[in-house]
Amino acid sequence: MKQGRVFSGARPTGRQHLGNYLGAIKNYVALQDDYDCVYCVVDLHALTTLQDTKHLKEWTYEMVLDWLAAGIDPDRGTIVFVQSHVPQVTELHVILSMVTPLGKLTRLPTFKEKVRQQPDNVNYGLVGYPVLMAADITLYKANVVPVGVDQVSHLEFTREIVRTFNHHFGPVLVEPQAKHTEVPKVLGIDGVNKMSKSLNNHIELAIEPDELYNRVRMMVTDPQRQRRTDPGRPEVCNVFSLHKVFTSPETVRQIDADCRTAGIGCVDCKKMLAQNLADHLAPFRERRAQLATDPDHVWDVLHDGAERASVIAREVIAEVKTAVGLP
């Protein structure tokens, strides 16, 4: 018996990286045991920041291929679909926008940040982003939403919209809870910023082993450790953080001790990490290559996902319209 419904969405950003995997996808996969899961490629959300939309289709394909290779499994009932294929979300967006005070949207720190990032493109959609996100989640009556810490304020916003809506129109929508992974923030190979494709500080899941070793070799370690003989501080080293995820606990303890006494150098430490990462990612790469032999498969999954998502969406939007009193 499943414990409820999970919903999560991610913008189509193409091949996924270790940050996406540890911060989101790993949870998407694990939650399939206990929940009915709905995972959405939020292509409409992507339009708020993209000037150039010609890669959307390719990036959707590459992202979903990674999701499936990582273990998101439609055969276990999981729904994977593209946001714009189930247009009821746009109807719900409009309805929810009527119970959303504009001032709340423009005061959100995430909105202010976007205005700073793209001052020449402060579009209407950007202001409404959290309302569309609320519509995404509530259209599927999700109880649980796995999100990164950066999305916490938006999720709180969704909860407020649900309370306001239900107060006005009756208990129709469900108030969702956020769920974070054990590694909510993965740093990039620069060791400073969040791992991100746009900063080119990322390591793709589908990376070739040789290229993987090159990327790991470029990783910034403890800046105070200049020479091989200097003792290091694992707690400030991003290579060590990744060892904690991909290396056995005894070896991690050994690396911790050896780094502090300069018993192991960064080069050897990185070689071990690259090897463990390559071993960890090998089955993923194999599944990805296998899935890629049939390019139609991804689109079939998304087509079937949209049909199954539509069944829920049609029911909920009808309930919402009735509650609101639309004729």
Residues that bind ligand ADP (CB under 6 A): 10-11, 13, 19-20, 22-24, 147-148, 150, 184-186, 194-196
Query: Which of 148, 265 has the CB closer to ligand ADP?
Result: 148
Beta-strand (E) ranges in 131-280? 144-146, 177-179
Q: Closest CB to ligand ADP among 95 and 245?
A: 245
Give the C-alpha separation, 169 to 188, whole Å.
46
- What's the closest the beta carbon of residue 287 comes to ligand ADP, in angstroms? 20
3-class DSSP assignment, residue 106: helix
CB of 210 to ligand ADP, least distance (A): 23
- The 3 state secondary structure assigned to 229-296 is CCCCCHHHCHHHHHHHHHCCHHHHHHHHHHHHCCCCCHHHHHHHHHHHHHHHHHHHHHHHHHHHCCCH
> Nearer to ligand ADP by C-beta: 175 or 190?
190
**Nearest residue relative to ligand ADP (C-beta):** 23
Whole-number minimum distance, CB 326 to ligand ADP, in Å?
31
By C-beta, is 145 or 317 nearer to ligand ADP?
145
| Nearest to ligand ADP of 6, 10 (CB atom) | 10
C-alpha gyration radius of the chain: 22
Token couple for 30: 């694990």
Angle, CA 194 vertex, CA 193 and CA 199 arms, to 5°:
70
Nearer to ligand ADP, 8 or 221 (CB): 8
Looking at residue 58, its amino acid is: E
Tell me how far, at minimum, the Cβ of 192 lies from ligand ADP, in Å: 12
Distance in angstroms (rounded) separating the CA atoms of residues 27 and 64: 15
Residue 145 makes CB contacts below 8 A (sequence gap 6+) with 6, 7, 8, 137, 155, 158, 176, 177, 178, 179
Cα Dmax for the chain: 77
Residue 61 corresponds to which tokens in the numbers above? 């394909």
Q: How far is the CB of 17 from ligand ADP (least distance, A)?
A: 7
Q: What are the backbone dihedrals phi and psi of residue 249, each rounded to the nearest 5 degrees, phi first? A: -55, -35
Question: With respect to ligand ADP, which residue has the nearer C-beta, 23 or 128?
Answer: 23
- Contact between 317 and 88 (Cβ < 8 Å): yes
CB of 306 to ligand ADP, least distance (A): 19
User: Considering the complex, what minimum distance in angstroms separates the CB of residue 213 from ligand ADP?
Assistant: 21
